[in-house]
Amino acid sequence: MGKARVLGIGMDYSPTSKAALRWAADNIIQEGDLIILIHVQPPKSDHTRKKLFEDTGSPLIPLEEFREINFSKQYGLTYDPEVLEILDTASKTKGAKVVAKVYWGDPREKLCDAAEDLKLDSLVVGSRGLGPIKRVLLGSVSKYVVTNASCPVTVVKGTQFAKP
């Protein structure tokens, strides 16, 4: 076993972000890794924890706490049993430690900030697969992160790994 790694996974509860999480769990998570589930909330969201942690992002939140429904409400996150199941499995079967962190702002910038601040060894994100016109109008989070993050980035395209 080598040095434990710090792996970030971008999560917005879309099918592609769940596919990215599932892909990471199936393909790259190893014993001893620290998995950080990174959530980026819109800057206009107004949840109780935002007032405390807007500038720095939330503290690292252990899986046990993240599993509680009240936690999701405090941060304005979606309570998703499928995501929790994937994380529980990675924790139990692979011996990975799982935590979550919440940021507020533009996902492009905050995912890159997270890579730097958390000293990630790698970041995994999903791709919505926008067509060329929508990509020009809306911009691509994954493309921006691949170009600007301070660590290697894996983009899981489409929903081929998502559970039906």
Domain boundary assignment for the chain: 6-157
Contact 19, 160 (CB under 8 A): yes
- Residue 131: pLDDT above 70? no
Q: Cβ neighbours of residue 31 under 8 Å, at least 6 residues apart?
A: 1, 94, 95, 96
More confident residue, 69 or 139: 69
Please compute, for residue 96, the number of CA atoms within 13 A of its CA located in the half-sphere on the CB side: 26
> Considering only CA atoms, which of 164, 163, 143, 137 is closest in space to residue 155?
143
More confident residue, 78 or 130: 78
More confident residue, 154 or 3: 154
CATH 3.40.50.620 corresponds to the domain 6-157 = yes
pLDDT (tens digit per residue) in 26-44? 999 999 999 999 999 887 7
